[in-house]
Amino acid sequence: MPAAFEISGLRIVYPSRLGPVHALEGVSLEAQDGEFISVLGPSGCGKSTLMKALAGLLPPRRGSIRVNGRPVSGPSPGVGIVFQNAVLMSWRSVLDNIMLQAEVRGLDRRLHLERARGLIRLVGIEGFEQHYPFQLSGGMQQRVSLCRALIHDPPLLLMDEPFGALDALTRESMNLELQRIWLDRRKTVLFITHSISEAVFLADRVVVLSKRPGRIRAVHEVGLPRPRGLETMESPEFVRLVGELRRELQAHGGLD
């Protein structure tokens, strides 16, 4: 069985008003089916660039990317993306925002309407199908965004700091919720974050990127048993891992 995704020798350079930006250099990373990988690194190190390249939105200058054994040469139907901001259409209801993904892809409406309702139940926002984004909290908006990313049942889910704009308590709640959904669906996840504790809490492995151009400095295995609760963050092993990652980032100038 091929890897869920395989990145080999990736180099990304893109233009800007001030000249070429050398974002990533020599990045190689592989994920197995159903694996949860968190990516840490300083601001501007290429974390979001890595996600966009994996999604087929940025072409590499050098290297290769494969998703489920197939070369990535453009946007892939096998990928779902959740951004830091929910990016919901203000004039569309919760259900219609989720269904937008199916409409754009030309998918069967009846089948995906039923799938959308199932996802709404899964993420715990049943009863809010006809509400509009302004009627929802930030956490609820991100649940809608997650449903939209999953509506076409992609094997790979890319998440770019999806809880970064939420308050601390809501963020912890969403971490628990995401873990529950991941355990239920077992998607392969690449999760970008600035939070060391969030990275450790969610991941099977944590990847540490250097300053730009981003290179992989280290990959840390997280052997904590699942499901993980908030009490996990008080365990000696969790504290040890967080400290190890903090020292890793600090050693390479990766703490902003």
The confidence score (pLDDT) of residue 2 equals 74
Cα separation, 193 vs 66, in Å, equals 23
Q: What is the pLDDT of residues 188-210, one digit of tens each?
A: 999 999 999 999 999 999 999 99
Q: What is the pLDDT of residues 31-53, one digit of tens each?
A: 999 999 999 998 889 999 999 99
Tell whether the model's pLDDT for residue 78 goes beyond 90: no
Q: Is residue 106 part of a domain?
A: yes
Q: Is residue 120 part of a domain?
A: yes
Q: Which of the residue ranges 55-69, 130-144, 207-221 would you say has the lowest mean pLDDT?
A: 55-69
Total structural domains within the chain? 1
Nearest to 228 by CA among 205, 253, 200, 256: 200
Residue range 214-218: average pLDDT? Answer: 93
Please give the residue range of the domain that contains residue 149: 92-153
Residue range 204-227: average pLDDT? Answer: 94
3-state secondary structure of 43: coil
Q: Is residue 181 part of a domain?
A: no
Which residue bears the tokens 């993980």? 228
Contacts of 235 (CB under 8 A, 6+ apart): 224
Q: Is residue 98 part of a domain?
A: yes
Half-sphere exposure of 119 (CA within 13 A, CB side): 27
Residue range 203-220: average pLDDT? Answer: 94
Residue range 219-225: average pLDDT? Answer: 95
Average pLDDT, the chain: 91
How open is the CA angle 107-65-2, to the nearest 5 degrees?
75
Q: Is residue 203 part of a domain?
A: no
Q: Is residue 100 part of a domain?
A: yes
Q: What is the pLDDT of residues 100-109, one digit of tens each?
A: 988 888 888 8
Q: Is residue 116 part of a domain?
A: yes
pTM of the model as a whole = 0.92
Q: What is the pLDDT of residues 9-30, one digit of tens each?
A: 999 998 888 888 899 999 999 9
Q: How many angstroms separate the Cα of 185 from the Cα of each of 15, 119, 126, 156, 178?
A: 38, 11, 18, 11, 10
Tell whether the model's pLDDT for residue 128 goes beyond 80: yes
Q: Is residue 14 part of a domain?
A: no
Tell whether the model's pLDDT for residue 68 goes beyond 90: no
- What are the b/e assignments for 242-251, b being 16+ CB within 10 Å? beebeebbee
Longest CA–CA separation in the chain, Å: 54
